[in-house]
Chains A and B, each alone.
Chain A
Amino acid sequence: MAGMAGANGECQNRAVLDQWHPLGAIDEAEPNVVHVTRLLGESISFAVTPEGRSAVWRTRGDLAAGMPVDPESVAGTLPSRCEFLYVWTSLGDPPERSFDIPEFFEPDRRNFNACTIGLRTSAPRAVENFLDMGHFPFVHDGLLGSEPRTEVVDYNVHVDGDTNEVWATECQFWQPAASATATEGQMVDYVYRIMQPYSILLYKSCPAAPERMDLIGLFVQATSEEHCRGHMFLSLIDDESSIGHIRRFVQTIFAQDVPIIENQNPKRLPLDPQAETPIRSDRASILYRRWLSDLGVTYAVIPAA
């Protein structure tokens, strides 16, 4: 595969190597056991302690998948942290802090991983789809949108000067069933926030607490340039719905996106402005593509010439 990868497909892009990347939900990893996954073209192993501490290392023969292990005794580990429900690692020189989600620590929130889904497309294509409202009536008909309410009202975009995160604010869309608790259609307010090249959060008006926002995150693990795993992070104010009910709702929506984003050509996100045709409602994705270029991201994208 062409692009920013070595002979064996491993990533050589400093801007991506130095990021924190998610590997899996802490809760879903059996403690003190070796788990093997892929990241940026390499095989990566991790283990967590019952207390929620982690170790991550490049996969090696003496620690095969499923073997018992004491994470704190593994030598030659990569940087790792357990944060916001997931085990994170970096194959480069990561920053001290990744990003902040202050709402996560509010006592009445339910925080959980809704699902982890493998995708045959690049991580930025998955992020861009998550950022897009225009497809709701066509891909999520009856849930997040419905014809003929197809209009995307103009919204604002900016890059935050302090955190260098991409924000899309004052987004609105008419939705017939915006959440697992919705019973009728409504205009829903959205705010999008892209914290890292492959991590995005959505703040959405909360039916149970009108003055607060529900958070839905898509933290994407780029397993290769054209494959990834999407971890769906939820932080909700909803003490009525069962977790199973919410998970089913979110997984239904995600499953509707899969055949769309797996049928985009090319799979890597093109950063050349002339590769595709944007319209006004794509201002967030235009800014995302430009921001990726400015960060020097060349992995899982087609850089502008």
Chain B
Amino acid sequence: MTADPFTMWHPVASEHDVPYRHVHHGQLLGRELAVWRADDDFVNVWENRCLHRGLRLSIGSNDGTELRCQYHGWRYANRSAGCTYIPAHPADAPARTICNRTFSSVERYGLVWSGESPVGDPPTVDVLEAGTPFGLRNLPVDASVELAVRHLQAHRFSPCGRLDAEAPEMTVDGVSDYSVALTARAGDARSTAVFFVQPVDSGRCVIRGVLADAPPAGEQLAVWRHHAIELDRLRVVIEAEAASLPAPEPMVPMLQQVPLHLAEVPDAPAGRQPALRVQVQRKWETAAGVAAFELAPIEGVLPTFQPGAHIDVHLPNGLVRQYSITNGPGESASYRLGVKLEPDSSGGSSCLHETVREGDVLAISEPRNNFPLRRDSNRTILVAGGIGITPLLAMAQALDRMSLPFELHCFAQSAEHVAFADVVDGLGGSVVRHLGLSPDETVAEIRRLVAGYESFANLYVCGPGPMLEAVRREASAAGWPDEAVHFEYFKNTNEIDNSSTFEVALARSAMTVTVPAGATILEVLRGHGVIMPSSCEQGACGTCVATVLEGEPDHQDVYLNDSEHRAGDRIMTCVSRAASDRLVLDL
């Protein structure tokens, strides 16, 4: 071998091996692969091994957008292979870095090409570029690639149109380490075929033949059959020689270790650093006063998101704003956001509406999910007020895809104010629109919706502050426990009182700091070099949470619910303070 097979592109499947909703079990250079086509036609080539307990993903199920492992139901996203859901812990968002190993994939000449660490692009073959490639039956052979390539050069077949030719004239047009091009002639008829040889293991390969020109429709079956028979003859010859040689040692692929932080407790994401650059691929008006944005990666693949997740968008004017990802499961090519123009915008929504345009590049954070969706409910009620529909739309599509029952209640001024109406329409009978209600009518409608709490029901609400307050109040009155009512505020409208001075001790870092009036815990800790994640920095999103070991928090956030506030064991470090002289945090 002259070239290093690990840096080359090889075929790993044929087009007909990867129909929709199927997972193909492939192998290349000793490594098992799970190859599957998503409904958007992206062909995924992954290590055939769930990171959790090593189960073959090829026995999992492909729902068109995600691959589900058969063992514990973990779901992995199209393209990125990031884990989107761990059913054993339905209330937790999966650590976003749990990601199966992926390999490059390109479809060309009816074959899926991939490689361990391929350099450049898959090979181009002039005769196939110029022709109308027609895939032949795959031929798995128990022999090395070298043997297959050597015998292929003496392979014989008849040209299309003259399948009965007794002794076609054969020429070898080209040979490489992993392919052979042959032309058969008989009279005026001629056919060129290129045979690519996929190195499955040291002693196994698959011959994948492609005719340069597709036969007329009526003859295709006969041509396929002719080549199947001739190739099978070739297989017998190759395997007879292989059987006479000593069996080569099987190749042993290196299984990657999972990163240390996944082997133990996942790290919290650090800081408010914009990790990603995206391009505004499309911007359009999705409802009255609401602009929609499609953000596509500039290179590579966007990180995995889960329903309820948001990203920080770092605006050209230096402001940072949070927006929910509205995408359905597996819609991983871009993030779709909805941004309402706030009449009293302090520069966030107005910048996005007025300044940002298609083609612009934005810095965004990786998705964070502080509003995770349980999928073990008998009944899921989603209540959206106006633009609050954005995270609930992602949830509704996820539930719809899994055929779990849900109701999506959209409260809006009018039908023109319902964002992403096309997606909402697609959810069919699970959607109820409540249009043009007065505040009192809205409260009465909410009261009706939450009447009669039953076990295994969950309520998710996102919308303007007064509406959230109403839902929380009415649900509580109707007997809903706090843990079944999940909410996400756009912003914290509470007046923040930052006049107190107190001490914060960090239990694990063995450090004590003083938080003076006018500064936040988060700011002071960062000033002392403690790496803390944060996002909204106004007590609404839940990213900067810390565990309280001692002391009494003075809660000023809207992220935690009332019973969580009373429990006093967690604190939002961006706005909340201490009611006692001293707090001890688990940091």
Measuring CB to CB, which residues of chain A are less than 8 angstroms from any residue of chain B? 128, 134-135, 137-139, 147-152, 259-260, 263-266, 270, 272-281
- Residues 84-102 of B, flagged 1 when their CB comes within 8 A of A and 0 if not, give 0011111100000010000
Q: Measured between C-beta atoms, what is the minimum distance from A289 to chain B in Å?
A: 11
Q: Measured between C-beta atoms, what is the minimum distance from A179 to chain B in Å?
A: 22
Q: Measured between C-beta atoms, what is the minimum distance from B113 to chain A in Å?
A: 24
Q: Measured between C-beta atoms, what is the minimum distance from B318 to chain A in Å?
A: 38
Number of residues of chain B lying within 8 A (CB) of chain A: 33
Interface contact B71-A135, CB-CB below 8 Å: yes
Neighbouring B residues of A152 by C-beta, 8 Å:
88-89
* Residue from the list A134, A263, A266, A276 in contact with B88, Cβ < 8 A: A134
Given the interface contacts A264-B53, A279-B89, does A259 sit within 8 Å of B376 by beta carbon? Answer: no
Interface contact B54-A266, CB-CB below 8 Å: yes
Interface contact A279-B264, CB-CB below 8 Å: no
Interface contact B89-A151, CB-CB below 8 Å: yes
Neighbouring A residues of B52 by C-beta, 8 Å:
276-279
Nearest B residue to A285, CB-CB: B53
A/B interface sample: 26 pairs, CB < 8 A: A134-B87, A135-B72, A137-B73, A137-B87, A138-B72, A138-B87, A139-B70, A139-B71, A150-B375, A151-B91, A152-B89, A260-B55, A263-B59, A264-B56, A265-B32, A265-B54, A273-B264, A275-B54, A275-B255, A275-B257, A275-B258, A276-B54, A277-B52, A277-B263, A278-B263, A280-B88
Neighbouring A residues of B48 by C-beta, 8 Å:
265
Interface contact A264-B376, CB-CB below 8 Å: no
Interface contact B257-A266, CB-CB below 8 Å: no
Q: Measured between C-beta atoms, what is the minimum distance from B28 to chain A in Å?
A: 15
B337 within 8 A of A: no
Interface contact A272-B257, CB-CB below 8 Å: yes
Q: Which of B48, B54, B88 has the most CB of A within 10 A?
A: B88
Main secondary structure of the interface of A (DSSP, over half): loop
B404 within 8 A of A: yes
Nearest B residue to A262, CB-CB: B56
- Residues 43-78 of B, flagged 1 when their CB comes within 8 A of A and 0 if not, give 000001101111110010000000000111100000
Measuring CB to CB, which residues of chain B are less than 8 angstroms from any residue of chain A? 32, 48-49, 51-56, 59, 70-73, 86-91, 98, 255, 257-260, 262-264, 375-377, 404
Interface contact B98-A138, CB-CB below 8 Å: no
Nearest A residue to B51, CB-CB: A277
Q: Measured between C-beta atoms, what is the minimum distance from B76 to chain A in Å?
A: 12
Give Cα A225–Cα B417 distance, bound, in whole angstroms.
Answer: 64
Q: Measured between C-beta atoms, what is the minimum distance from B526 to chain A in Å?
A: 29
Neighbouring B residues of A137 by C-beta, 8 Å:
73, 87
**Sorted from nearest, which 7 A-B pairs have the closest CB atoms?**
A150-B87, A274-B257, A148-B376, A134-B88, A281-B88, A152-B88, A263-B56
* Residue from the list B53, B59, B91 in contact with A276, Cβ < 8 A: B53
Given the interface contacts A278-B263, A279-B86, A281-B88, does A260 sit within 8 Å of B376 by beta carbon? Answer: no
Give Cα A135–Cα B89 distance, bound, in whole angstroms.
Answer: 12
Interface contact A148-B404, CB-CB below 8 Å: yes
* Residue from the list A260, A277, A279, A281 in contact with B70, Cβ < 8 A: A260
Q: Measured between C-beta atoms, what is the minimum distance from A180 to chain B in Å?
A: 25
Neighbouring A residues of B90 by C-beta, 8 Å:
148, 150-151
Interface contact A265-B49, CB-CB below 8 Å: yes
Nearest A residue to B83, CB-CB: A277
Neighbouring B residues of A274 by C-beta, 8 Å:
257-260, 262-263
* Residue from the list A148, A263, A276, A280 in contact with B377, Cβ < 8 A: A148
Give Cα A270–Cα B255 distance, bound, in whole angstroms.
Answer: 11
* Residue from the list A147, A151, A263, A276 in contact with B51, Cβ < 8 A: A276
Given the interface contacts A137-B73, A148-B375, A148-B404, does A276 sit within 8 Å of B87 by beta carbon? Answer: no
Give Cα A260–Cα B259 distance, bound, in whole angstroms.
Answer: 25
Given contacts A270-B54, A276-B51, 10 further A-B contacts (CB under 8 A): A134-B72, A138-B71, A148-B90, A148-B375, A150-B375, A150-B376, A263-B56, A264-B56, A265-B55, A278-B52
Neighbouring A residues of B262 by C-beta, 8 Å:
274, 277
Give Cα A275–Cα B259 distance, bound, in whole angstroms.
Answer: 9
Interface contact A279-B375, CB-CB below 8 Å: no
Nearest B residue to A128, CB-CB: B53
Nearest A residue to B85, CB-CB: A150
Neighbouring A residues of B376 by C-beta, 8 Å:
147-151
Q: Measured between C-beta atoms, what is the minimum distance from A76 to chain B in Å?
A: 37
Neighbouring B residues of A138 by C-beta, 8 Å:
70-73, 87
Neighbouring B residues of A273 by C-beta, 8 Å:
263-264
* Residue from the list B49, B89, B258 in contact with A281, Cβ < 8 A: B89
Give Cα A138–Cα B68 distance, bound, in whole angstroms.
Answer: 10
Q: Measured between C-beta atoms, what is the minimum distance from A271 to chain B in Å?
A: 12
Give Cα A149–Cα B90 distance, bound, in whole angstroms.
Answer: 9
Neighbouring B residues of A281 by C-beta, 8 Å:
88-89
